[in-house]
Structure 1
Amino acid sequence: MNIDFHVHGILSKKLKFDSELFLQGVEYAKENGLDGFVLCEHFNAIDLLSSYSYLEENYEYVGDRYIVDGFSVFIGMEVDIRYGGHVIVCGNREDILKIRNYLEPYTSKSNFIPFGKLLDLGEKYNCLMIGSHPYREKHKLYLQPKKYLERLDALDLNTKDIYKRGLSIVEEEVATLAENLNIPYVTGSDSHYPVQLGTVKTCFENECYTINDLKENIKSKKYVIEISKALKLKVYTSKITKNYIKKQIKLSKNNYKNLKSN
């Protein structure tokens, strides 16, 4: 079973959830060799709950994932933590909603949740917790205390970092940190637009239907990692397209405001 552990279903956390774009992402992921992904929108995205509601209203939930046209969609959130860094928290749908409700007082940069408190919360609900892009310039998760980092289930080998800094550099950093913490690392495309899906894959020997399945297979390292040779082209294309769409949305909103004021 081939999985991407870091996928966003919205172009930007300031924009609305687009079900058509989401379904295009699922189809593109399938065509590029993925069997499932973790949908982990930013926890303070303005339309995060709409993505959950859309899945709940339209698709069957089996194990701990939605089945979207034969494709497995696990849900979670990418959470900002105090003093820098992002953590992906993936769990059962009911538990994720409880966690999001708990995080409501922590949505602003001045009051992000402490790392230890988030870990306690994730462990309480048996969530899969992955340290996102630990060496990214503006989100230096690796600087967090080791006593917290080693409680993570895995680290994130991230497509965007590979694109910017090169596979050999990024993987060496992540692999070394993972070894020092005695935890594995998995892959995440960090996709906000479908073209980026399939650039990285974590390929499990077994099928994974529940959070426990994911955690156990990651812990036992029953997987291999695949990196697309077309990664740079796909990320560049995704970046250009995403920025173009965002500009068009902004222009459309401005035009609407102008019409109302006239």
Structure 2
Amino acid sequence: MYKLDLHAHTRFFHWNEGEPTRFDPVGASLLGGVARRRDLDGVALTNHDYYRPYDHDSSLATIPGIEVSTTRGHVLVVGPDPPADTEPEELTPEAVVEMAHDRGCAAIMAHPYRNSTVSEGDAELDAVEINGKHPQRQSRVRKLAESLDLPLVGGSDAHYPFEVGRAHTMVDAEEPTPEAVVEAIRDGRVGPRVDDRLSNRVLHEVYQRVHEHKGHV
């Protein structure tokens, strides 16, 4: 059993989305350092609409990934061969799922109740995410996953290294390789965990107010 954060970003802000920056390797290194201190076994690097591999400590598994901005909301694609780039709001969720499966990856519905209608479409996703920024929505997300007959995963949605692991996924696999993680997700051998320490609860309140102010529902 492995503890993996399946939703993390290498940048500290949302600026210049969809394109790599020269600071991304620094962010990847800091994410890895925090992940190890929090006893995680691995992290998926899922930047908005691009994927680039970065060198990392071999003691931590790095799962390739990308957070695709579809026409209906965000979908995480994680696995051995995510696309290097996607055009924001150009692909439908159905197209993203097809692309993910063609590349041997899993497609995950990200933060389904924040600025997203992915759940209302016909995309045959592999899992639904309990997002680290919105743990108060766990009950709704669990009911959604049950109605869709899909497994649940957890991801921090970290944009700052100290956020890593606040939500993560327990993965039942022999090893934390991208291929094994994809297989475990599709087989339902995964489960979300939320770190409910005081600092995270305070952070949840901050994010809730920020997203309400932005009109993200």
Q: TM-score range by the shorter chain?
A: 0.7 to 0.9
Structure of greater Rg: 1
RMSD: 2.4
Q: How far, CA to CA, are the matches of 2:58 and 2:179 in structure 1? A: 23
The size of the alignment, in residue pairs, is 200
Q: How far, CA to CA, are the matches of 2:30 and 2:161 in structure 1? A: 7
1:156 to 129, 151, 165: 129
Superposition misfits of 4+ residues, deviation over 6 angstroms: 236-239
- CA drift at 1:214: 1.3
Unaligned runs of 5+ in 2: 209-217
Q: How far, CA to CA, are the matches of 2:112 and 2:191 in structure 1? A: 20
SS of corresponding position for 2:169: strand
- CA drift at 1:191: 0.2
Q: How far, CA to CA, are the matches of 2:205 and 2:29 in structure 1? A: 21
> Cα deviations across residues 30-75 of structure 1 (Å, max 9, x unaligned)?
11121101100000xxxx46xx25x2xxx4xxxxxxx524111111
Q: How far, CA to CA, are the matches of 2:207 and 2:160 in structure 1? A: 6
- CA drift at 1:238: 9.5
Q: How far, CA to CA, are the matches of 1:208 and 1:201 in structure 2? A: 17
* Higher normalized helix content (fraction of residues): 1
- CA drift at 1:132: 0.3
SS of corresponding position for 1:68: coil
Distance 1:233 1:31, change over 3 A: farther
- Does residue 88 in structure 1 map to residue 76 in structure 2? yes
TM-score under structure 1 normalisation? 0.68
Distance 1:154 1:17, change over 3 A: farther
> Cα deviations across residues 3-51 of structure 1 (Å, max 9, x unaligned)?
01110111234253422332122111111121101100000xxxx46xx
> What amino acid is aligned across from residue 75 of structure 1 in structure 2?
P
> What amino acid is aligned across from residue 38 of structure 1 in structure 2?
A
Distance 1:125 1:205, change over 3 A: closer
SS of corresponding position for 2:30: helix
- Does residue 130 in structure 1 map to residue 108 in structure 2? yes
Q: How far, CA to CA, are the matches of 1:222 and 1:238 in structure 2? A: 30
Q: How far, CA to CA, are the matches of 1:4 and 1:132 in structure 2? A: 13
Q: How far, CA to CA, are the matches of 1:70 and 1:21 in structure 2? A: 17
Aligned to 2:57: 68
> Cα deviations across residues 217-258 of structure 1 (Å, max 9, x unaligned)?
22333344322122224557999xxxxxxxxxxxxxxxxxxx
